[in-house]
Chain A
Amino acid sequence: KNEVEQSPQNLTAQEGEFITINCSYSVGISALHWLQQHPGGGIVSLFMLSSGKKKHGRLIATINIQEKHSSLHITASHPRDSAVYICAVPPYSGGSNYKLTFGKGTLLTVNP
C-alpha cells in the first residue's frame, strides 16, 4: 500500500497570501490526484497529474515523480478557498489506478 503524507495538517492564511500544500508518497506512481472538500462535505477533483505542472485559475499543481512529491499552490488566496485539500495516489505505477490511497488532508482557512 502506498503511504501518503500531507503537510501541513492545518494552515491559516490571510487573504491574498500564496499558499503551498505538500504531498509525499512512498511508492512510485503514474498519476496523482488533488481533491478539494468544502465544509459541506462535497468533493471536487482539482487535478490529476503525472508529470510537471498543471494550472487552473489560481491553482497550480506540480509533481516530481523521482522525488515522490507533489505540491498544490494557491495564488492570491481568498476566503472561498477555505476547504480541506486532499491528495490521493494509486498503489504503484501501473497498478490499479482506482484503488486510491488518500492523504488525511490539509485544512486551509483563509481569513479576510
Chain B
Amino acid sequence: GAGVSQSPSNKVTEKGKDVELRCDPISGHTALYWYRQSLGQGLEFLIYFQGNSAPDKSGLPSDRFSAERTGGSVSTLTIQRTQQEDSAVYLCASSLVLAKNIQYFGAGTRLSVL
C-alpha cells in the first residue's frame, strides 16, 4: 500500500472489554513496531516484529497486552480487560530492515476506555 494503515482510527470502549487494533504495514516492509502515546507522555515502545523471528515483547506493559503478525504482514494488537489507563494513541510503524531504514508511521488508533 501507499503507507502504513491503522484501523480503527478511533475506538471507544467500556472498562473490562477486549479491543483489537489493526496495522497494515507498507508492502515489503519486514519490520513492524507498535508504540503507545499516552496523554502528556512521550511515545513508548511496546513490541517489535522482524520477519519470521520471534517478536520482542519486552515493552508490553502487562499480560493483558498481546500482539501477533500473520503471514509477515498485518499485525493485530489486542488489549484484554481494558482499563482506563490504557487510554492512549496506539501507533504502528514499519521499515524495510531493522535499524537501517527510517520507520514509517501510521496515523494511529485513539483508544478511549470509559
Q: Which residues of A contact B (CB under 8 A)?
A: 31, 33, 35, 40-45, 47-48, 86, 88, 90, 96-105
Which 5 A-B residue pairings sit nearest by Cβ, starting from the closest? A97-B99, A43-B105, A102-B43, A102-B42, A45-B102
By DSSP majority rule, is chain A's interface helix, strand, loop, or mixed?
loop
Contact with A along B95-111 (1 / 0, CB 8 A): 00011011111011010
Chain B, interface size category, equals 20 to 34
Residues of B within 8 A of A98 (CB): 31, 33, 45, 48, 50, 56, 98-99
B20 within 8 A of A: no
The reply to whether B105 and A45 form a contact with Cβ atoms under 8 Å apart is: yes
Question: Separation in Å of the A67 CB from the closest CB of chain B?
Answer: 22
Residues of A within 8 A of B67 (CB): none
B79 within 8 A of A: no
Q: Which residue of A lies closest to B3 (CB)?
A: A42
Residues of B within 8 A of A43 (CB): 91, 93, 105, 108
B44 within 8 A of A: yes
The reply to whether A42 and B99 form a contact with Cβ atoms under 8 Å apart is: no
Q: How far is the CA of A86 from the CA of B42 in the complex (A)?
A: 9
Residues of B within 8 A of A100 (CB): 43, 45
B58 within 8 A of A: yes
Question: Separation in Å of the B82 CB from the closest CB of chain A?
Answer: 20
